[in-house]
Chain A
Amino acid sequence: MAVYDADVIVVGSGSLGSLAALELARAGKTVVILEAGPMVPDWKITENFRTSARKGNLNAPFGDIPYAPNSYTPGYLDFDADVGWVPGTLRVAGGTSRHWTGVAWRLLPEEMKMRTQFGIGRDWPISYDELEPFYTAAEYQVGVNGADETDYSGLNRGAPYPPRSKPYPLPPEAKPYALQRFQMRAAERGYRVDHAPNVRLSRPYAGRPACIGNNVCNPNCPIGAKHSGLHDLEAAQLAGATLKTGAVVDKLESDAQGRIIAVSFLDPNGLRSRLTARTYVIAAHGFETPKLLLMNGLANRSGMVGKNLMMHPTLSMGFFADEPLWLGRGQYLHGANLQHRLRSDRSKVSGGFYQFMNHNAAPAMAVALFKEGNRIGASLDDELRRRASQYMAIQLLLEDLPDPSNSMSVNPSFRDSLGQPGIRVHYRLKDYAKSALPRTIDDYSNWLQAMNAVPQELPGAHWYNQHHIMGTVIMGSDPSDSVVDKDLRCYGHDNLFLVTTGVFPSVSCVNPTLTGMALAIRAGRHIAKEV
């Protein structure tokens, strides 16, 4: 009988990998988690943020690790895209959700069957009803604030939607004054403001304190009120999983039947080790997971590894109201407008939702004023206070459709300190997202009128994207166009599972992390039954 180093090896210690590991460890399986990056405690990230010149750079407080470069390491990510924000991915214990904003949406049932419902995109091979218990498990694991009565379709039909088997574990947090004022005035033009469910605790939960409005949800909550992947990693370790940091996996060995027989990895000094397990989980997020598969020529009979990259096209807008709102009091983001999420024209126009940003506006206003360069002294101070007090910032997140021409691949022109390659991205905005611009400008015009406001940023001058990486190891029921099946098992490799938002066949317009967590818990429980 074969002897293994572990029942399951999980590559990647982010939230999704750790939640899968947690489920496996709870089921009594031996689990080894291999993490390329180092362990960096939260307090160090907060301190690094405070002493950084790059406060808008999400990866900066985590540093540039020579043996585990991240997406902002110079040259590592060759980003050929017509959208403006480079996704910030991390290689560190706890993964990229060390710096997520913490918005925890569910997909709608309709959004998981886009082909059936709207004739576009792809259907998931599982239904919302099948995923729902795992959404609930994820919400209770990480602590989600939510408004149970809300119709999150945006259609405002007077009943909660989508269906849920249990109420949210925590009530919503306090609503900021700025959003109260916006809500009152925008309602006159037909707009609603709803709560955006999130993991910034409204009450103490699972050993974490309630949020006190540090207003630095990114890159890191200074008091741990916001969930991060580090919490899931710690839970997995407490349940018995073993973590090894500085383990840069570059080789997956397979046998003639396609079964994975070992992982091979380098330590920061280049010393190679090898571990075996019955089953292997790659949970290295949406870039590193397909990169590892491509480097090893695995799971790619469909040719879809690295294809179908989706990143939530985004429009950004801002204005100055005629009254003081004072953004920055509270958390980074509390409220949303969902009225364009599930419109009847979804087959032609991307579904979208607005998120009302709540960052302290003063630094950005100061940058603009120094660029203008025509104020100094009290004039500068007065204008800074006027703009910071009256500013309102809004982002529209839009649905992306899977398209193989949008892709990531291995970038051999970059080599890190261990000789490992980088990542290349090619992405072009599609008409589906662009078609949402006219009504976004209408909304912006309405909001200017409602707030008697002065324009600061017109949506559409630039297109942006989110730090959401999806589709690159796409899930489906047809092995000829999919990388993994409904259980996240790779086609052609019985004991290889991919736990990442990269498996999403459709992405809605909402932040993907909670859905990824639900999939991770589902995969962990499924694998535990097999091993």
Chain B
Amino acid sequence: MKQMPEPSQPLGPLTVTRRRVLQALATLVPAMGLATMPLATHALEADDAFLTASRVITGNTTLSAGIARRMMALLVVRIPEFAAKLDDLLKAFRATGGTREEMLSALKDSQVQFALAIAQPWYLGHVGTPSDFVLKDDAVFVTYLEAQSWTKIVHEVPRPTYPGADAGWWDVAPPGVDAPAMPEGIKEWTFHPGGPADIMAPDPKWKAYATAPHASIDAARRAKPGST
């Protein structure tokens, strides 16, 4: 199956991908019907609907049907009124049409929250909240190879385990990075670029910035010294 454009790029209005998404949406079961019928009797339709929604939400048309089935089974029992919300979401996608961004940006807040609830396990590869220190929690594994948080950066950073490269490949600039000029010796561990002989006292302006409470990363960006 053809890979969707990189998520950071806009979806073209007449791409194969867009056509494929629209075709998939057009074949969905009627929205009202899915919401009112038991999932068990319409498993195939529900699976297709969930996979279609997942592909729109993640921007990845290669998501597997089998993984989607497993994920939906886990989400159905964790999200109240899952079927109705899925119906509602797909209806919204169909009504809007267009690109991934057009479909997502037209969603109401409640629909966005549901879409994020679908996105989260796709990005993280699991449902629930795993514990780092106890071998008991509500987390359940869904996927490793299709976890989108890794997929979204895989061109720059290989997914952990089996990078498919030789020893020491990591000392060059990552793909797409325009590396500033550095001294020739920088790759040597005994190299030191020079500068002050010992640690400088911090600039009060930067210390105030470092220790100030920032409501969010966005707020911290706006507050950075020198920001306009």
Contact = CB atoms under 8 A, between A and B. Distances in A.
B174 A46 contact: no
A207 to B, nearest CB: 16
B113 interface: yes
A53 interface: yes
Contacts of A176: 170-171
B150 A53 contact: no
Interface in B141-188: 141-142, 144, 147-150, 152-153, 156-163, 165-174, 176-177, 179-180, 182, 186-188
Interface in A347-396: 360, 362-363, 365-367, 370, 372-373, 376-378, 380-382, 384-385, 387-389
A175 B187 contact: yes
Interface in B169-228: 169-174, 176-177, 179-180, 182, 186-190, 192-203, 206-207, 209-211, 214, 216-217, 220-221, 224-226
B82 to A, nearest CB: 18
Contacts of A174: 167-171, 187
A187 B192 contact: yes
Nearest to A63: B135
A59 B136 CA distance: 11
B105 interface: yes
A229 interface: no
B10 interface: yes
A404 interface: no
B163 A362 contact: no
Interface residues of A, number: 95
B214 A370 contact: no
Contacts of A327: 157
A190 B197 contact: yes
Interface in B108-146: 112-113, 115-116, 119-120, 123-128, 130-137, 139-142, 144
A445 B206 contact: yes
Contacts of B187: 174-175, 180
B70 to A, nearest CB: 12
A222 B162 CA distance: 8
A385 B176 CA distance: 13
B203 A177 contact: no
A389 B209 CA distance: 22
Interface in A447-475: 448-449, 452, 454-456, 458
A527 interface: no
Contact of B141 (A52, A74, A445): A52
A441 B10 CA distance: 41
B139 A385 contact: no
A174 to B, nearest CB: 4
Contact of A56 (B8, B132, B196): B132
B113 A214 contact: no
A432 interface: no
Given A326-B174, A370-B116, A454-B224, A320 B199 contact: no
| Secondary structure dominating the interface of B | loop
B196 A189 contact: yes
B189 A150 contact: yes
A54 B139 contact: yes
A92 B130 CA distance: 23
Contacts of A54: 130-132, 135, 137, 139
A74 B131 CA distance: 11
B7 interface: yes
B100 interface: yes
Interface residues of B, number: 94
Interface stretch (A191-199, A280-288, A479-487, A498-506): A191-199
Contact of B160 (A177, A339, A360): A360
A428 interface: no
A370 B153 contact: no
A55 B179 CA distance: 32
Interface string A45-63: 0100111111111011001
Nearest to A145: B189
Given A212-B163, A377-B100, A329 B130 contact: no
B167 A212 contact: yes
B207 A445 contact: yes
A215 B130 contact: no
A85 B150 contact: no
A120 to B, nearest CB: 23
A446 B10 CA distance: 38
A213 interface: yes
A458 B211 CA distance: 7
B63 interface: no
A384 B8 CA distance: 10
A382 B158 contact: no
A149 B148 CA distance: 43
A99 B209 CA distance: 37
A213 B163 contact: yes
B119 A376 contact: yes
A91 to B, nearest CB: 13
Contact of A57 (B59, B132, B188, B203): B132
A212 B169 contact: yes
Contacts of A381: 7-8, 59, 152
A53 B224 CA distance: 36
Nearest to A74: B136
A237 to B, nearest CB: 27
Interface in A282-308: none
A261 interface: no
Contact of A147 (B113, B169, B189, B207): B189
Given A187-B194, A214-B162, A323-B180, 17 more contacts: A60-B135, A149-B190, A174-B171, A215-B160, A215-B163, A222-B161, A324-B177, A360-B150, A360-B157, A363-B150, A377-B105, A378-B8, A378-B59, A378-B100, A381-B7, A384-B149, A442-B207
24 contacts: A51-B144, A53-B139, A53-B140, A73-B135, A174-B168, A175-B189, A177-B170, A177-B172, A180-B186, A183-B193, A211-B167, A213-B158, A213-B170, A214-B161, A215-B161, A323-B180, A370-B116, A377-B57, A377-B59, A378-B101, A442-B199, A446-B199, A458-B210, A458-B211
Interface of A: 46, 49-57, 59-60, 63-64, 70, 72-74, 85-86, 88, 147, 149-150, 172-177, 180-181, 183-184, 187-192, 194-195, 202-203, 210-216, 222, 320, 323-324, 326-330, 335, 339, 360, 362-363, 365-367, 370, 372-373, 376-378, 380-382, 384-385, 387-389, 441-446, 448-449, 452, 454-456, 458
